[in-house]
């Protein structure tokens, strides 16, 4: 049952991501991106990361996607369709070239995962499996995460809060309507 649900979520995520990149209509692609993010949150649940999953729903679906649709609505109507003029293109590759590149990358990564023998997992994983230090479904993750944020990971936590403040002020500064901007 677990495995079936996992495959259902994985199928949902991959097919909607494929649809996101293949649709010509940007608005529809953005709304399909909702479904991808929800399915990814479901996949996090299967790795027993409930707090990360709920944060994904709050931050991505509640914040990032609304922001994207808002910015999309502020731009004009001809952007609804993906532009197809390739003359003088110096960043974007043609479709077949990018398809070949990403398929090659996928093949490379799948080959790497295929070659990775489970018997030779990293030493810390081996040790944690042997001593039973793996997260189980009955563990209280949120409590432990709060402890870790305030004790062991206090420095990255503070750095990231300063960084978040800097980016928010910077974004507001860039996007303001000013004469000198």
Partner 1 sequence: MIPITHFLVVSACIFCIGLYAVISKRNAIMILVGIELMINAAILNLVAFGRYDKADYGGQVFALFAIVLAAAAVAVGLSIILMTYRKYKTINPDQITDLRD
What is the sign, positive or negative, of the torsion defined by CA atoms of 72, 75, 80, 83?
A: negative
Shortest distance, position 65 Cβ to partner 1, whole Å: 9
**Residue 108 beta carbon to partner 1: minimum distance, rounded to whole angstroms:** 9
Q: How many other β-carbons are positioned within 10 Å of the β-carbon of residue 41?
A: 22
- 30 lies in the site for partner 1, by CB under 8 A: yes
Dihedral sign for Cα 74, 78, 84, 85, please.
Answer: negative
Does position 47 interact with partner 1 (CB under 8 A)? The reply is yes
Task: Read off the DSSP letter of residue 87.
Answer: T
CB-count burial class (<10 Å; 0-12, 13-18, 19+) for 23:
middle
Applying the rule CB under 8 A, the residues between 75 and 94 that interact with partner 1 are: 75-76, 79, 82-84, 88-94
Binding positions for partner 1, 99-118, rule CB under 8 A: 99, 101-103, 105-106, 109-110, 113, 116, 118
Report the site for partner 1 in 132-151 (rule: CB under 8 A). 133-135, 139, 141, 144-145, 148-149
């Amino acid at each position: 049952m677990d495995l079936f649900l996992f495959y259902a979520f994985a199928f949902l995520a991959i097919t909607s991501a494929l649809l996101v990149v293949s649709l010509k209509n940007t608005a529809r692609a953005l709304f399909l991106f909702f479904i991808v993010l929800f399915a990814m949150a479901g996949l996090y649940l299967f790795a027993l990361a409930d707090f990360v999953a709920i944060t994904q729903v709050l931050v991505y679906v509640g914040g990032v996607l609304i922001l994207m649709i808002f910015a999309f609505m502020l731009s004009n109507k001809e952007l609804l369709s993906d532009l197809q003029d390739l003359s003088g293109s110096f960043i974007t590759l043609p479709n077949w070239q990018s398809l070949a590149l990403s398929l090659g990358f996928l093949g490379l990564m799948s080959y790497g995962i295929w070659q990775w023998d489970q018997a030779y997992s990293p030493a810390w994983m081996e040790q944690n499996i042997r001593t039973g230090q793996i997260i189980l479904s009955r563990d209280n993750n949120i409590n432990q995460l709060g402890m870790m944020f305030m004790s062991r990971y206090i420095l990255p936590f503070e750095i990231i809060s300063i960084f978040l403040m800097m980016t928010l002020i910077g974004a507001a500064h860039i996007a303001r309507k000013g004469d000198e901007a």
